[in-house]
Structure 1
Amino acid sequence: MNFFLETLRLLVLSIYFMLESLVLLFVPVRKKSVAGEIMLITGAGSGIGRLMALKFARLGATLVLWDINQTGNKETAQLAKENGAVRVHAYTCDCSKRQEIYRVADQVKKEVGDVSILINNAGVVTGKKFIDSPDSLVEKTMEVNILAHFWTYKAFLPAMMASNHGHLVTIASSAGLIGVSGLADYCASKFAAVGFAESVGLEMLALGKSGVKTTIVCPYFIHTGMFEGCQTKWPRVLPILNADYAAQRIVNAVLEEQSYLLMPRSMSIMNAMKNILPVKLSVLMGHYFGAFSLIDHFTGREKKD
């Protein structure tokens, strides 16, 4: 195709997609059914992972729950059954270990079947300034928050590609879009998670696997205990999100096959501003919104045996 036709195609489709996006602001998107789908959620033993499991349980999905916390994971499984789940399978899995991910993935494929919706939700946070972060915790952050995504994709994506049907969901963070003082390793892992998910999503399109969908979720702090002690300077503009609200928004994004979900909506504006404003003005905005002191009072979730 020559330059003129390529350019004409670009202009016509650009106008069409812009109009489509405008219409979708006012017209509800038809939600897909997940009944009968085999859905794996990592980090399902507590927090957003548990809330998502309970909400998807009501929609008829077969749930496969992974967590390193065996007790919490079993509690989620029981709650899911009480919420209407027909099939629930709980597996203890340390997502910081590649071989354990592969081992448990093989067990899932033999005992449950091929996963068609994969939600990489498991995450850890160090909560220390970079120079004070122990090497072991930095490594753990990268192993759980991003390397685990590589290994779960390796385990479950081939079956999705073979059937041209599936959904890859990445629970990243607004800290995967904008750097935050005191969260260097966490931001690095979440930036990587966003880039990895975007890249694989484009690979699926390039390979003609348009039936394999990708959803990338980038929320601000969620009130689950993971970022306990963190404070937001202007809660009306950047509120710490209610966990149940955040989980429902994620579920809706999956059902509507949204490519990206940023929460709250103000994060979309802030992300756009970061990319167009001069660096010094971006730093000034960071001061204004409290990005330099967000984790000064971080305590994190209380550790339980």
Structure 2
Amino acid sequence: MNPFLDLLLFLATLIYSYLEAFVKLFVPVKRKSVSGELVLITGAGHGVGRATAFEFAKRQSRLVLWDINKHGVEETAAECERLGATVEAFVVDCSKREEIYSAAEKVKKEIGDVSILVNNAGVITAADLLSTQDHQVERMFEVNILAHIWTTRAFLPTMMNNNHGHIVTVASAAGHFVTSFMVAYCSSKFAAVGFHKALTEELSTLGKDGIKTTCLCPVFINTGFVKNPSTRLGKVLEIEEVVEALMEGILTNQKMVFVPSNQRVALLLERLFPERALAVLKKLTDVKFDAVIGQRSTQ
């Protein structure tokens, strides 16, 4: 193709995409069924993972739940069974690659092929970079991004053979926007967002259009992992509203789910506004939370 025709094709695609998005504002979006799908959720013993398991259970999915906390994951499993779902619970430390691969093999041999993978497990340490201990940095990367890669490598081959599946990355607004006293955490979540985008692109290049991907990016959630979070221009989210948005994203095959959705505007402004204006805007938001500052420990 010559450059002129390439430009015409681009403009035509751009206009079509905008028209399609406009029409979708008035036409109900079709939601897919997840009944009978084998759904594996990491970090299912608490918070977003637990609430997500409940939603899949209500939709007659079969569930495999992983968590490092035995009591928590068993509680989640019991409630999912009460909701009518078939459930298997595993105690898995997602910071350990060997445990992930071992548990994955057990799932494939004893239960079946996972068709929806929800990479939800995550850890956070709120501290300035020099006060964040080495093992805390390592654990954030091991759980928040490396575990996503290991689980995906374990279950993706069957999805590719069937050209069917869905891989969900639970990331964070901290994967797009930075904040002080979360340097390591933000870095791990930026990596998670990058993983989602790169995987999405690779599956498209390979022609695996039956495998969908969704990335969840919420602001602070009331889960207790971050102590006393607050912001002047927004609110701390409740678990239920985050999971509602996540399930809507999965069922309608949305690639990126922001909670609240106005983060899309903030992301655009960050690319358009000069640095000085952004600094003033960040002061207006006045994001606060409890953090360890000035301890300077690396052990």
TM value normalised by structure 2: 0.95
Name 2:79's counterpart in structure 1: 79
> In structure 1, what residue type is equivalent to 2:104?
A
Deviations 1:209-241 (A, max 9, x none): 01111101100111111223122223xxx2111
Do the aligned partners of 1:239 and 1:264 also contact (CA within 8 Å) in 2?
A: no
1:3-152 correspondence runs (5 A): 3-85=3-85, 87-152=86-151
Aligned residue among 250, 255, 266 for 1:254: 250
Structure 1 segments unaligned to the other structure (5+ residues): 299-305
Do the aligned partners of 2:39 and 2:64 also contact (CA within 8 Å) in 1?
A: yes
What is the alpha-carbon distance in structure 2 between the residues aligned to residue 182 and residue 27 of structure 1? 43
Percent identity (aligned) = 46
Aligned residue among 273, 278, 289 for 1:295: 289
1:158 aligned onto 2:160:
no
What is the alpha-carbon distance in structure 2 between the residues aligned to residue 70 and residue 242 of structure 1? 24
What is the alpha-carbon distance in structure 1 between the residues aligned to residue 277 and residue 60 of structure 2? 48
> In structure 2, what residue type is equivalent to 1:280?
R
Do the aligned partners of 2:173 and 2:218 also contact (CA within 8 Å) in 1?
A: yes
Name 1:280's counterpart in structure 2: 276
Deviations 1:16-60 (A, max 9, x none): 111111122232210000011111100000101000000110101
1:131 aligned counterpart, secondary structure:
coil
1:192 aligned onto 2:191:
yes
Q: Note the C-alpha offset of 1:296.
A: 3.5
What is the alpha-carbon distance in structure 1 between the residues aligned to residue 223 and residue 289 of structure 2? 15
Question: Once superposed, which parts of structure 1, at least 4 consecutive aligned residues long, lie more than 3 Å away?
Answer: none
What is the alpha-carbon distance in structure 2 between the residues aligned to residue 147 and residue 258 of structure 1? 23
> In structure 1, what residue type is equivalent to 2:206?
L
Q: Note the C-alpha offset of 1:297.
A: 6.0
What is the alpha-carbon distance in structure 1 between the residues aligned to residue 286 and residue 231 of structure 2? 7
Do the aligned partners of 1:45 and 1:73 also contact (CA within 8 Å) in 2?
A: yes
Name 2:237's counterpart in structure 1: 241
**Across the two proteins, how many residue pairs are aligned to each other?**
292
Aligned residue among 261, 264, 269 for 1:268: 264
2:213 aligned counterpart, secondary structure:
strand
Structure 2 segments unaligned to the other structure (5+ residues): 293-299
What is the alpha-carbon distance in structure 2 between the residues aligned to residue 142 and residue 91 of structure 1? 22
Q: Note the C-alpha offset of 1:275.
A: 1.2
What is the alpha-carbon distance in structure 1 between the residues aligned to residue 247 and residue 113 of structure 2? 21
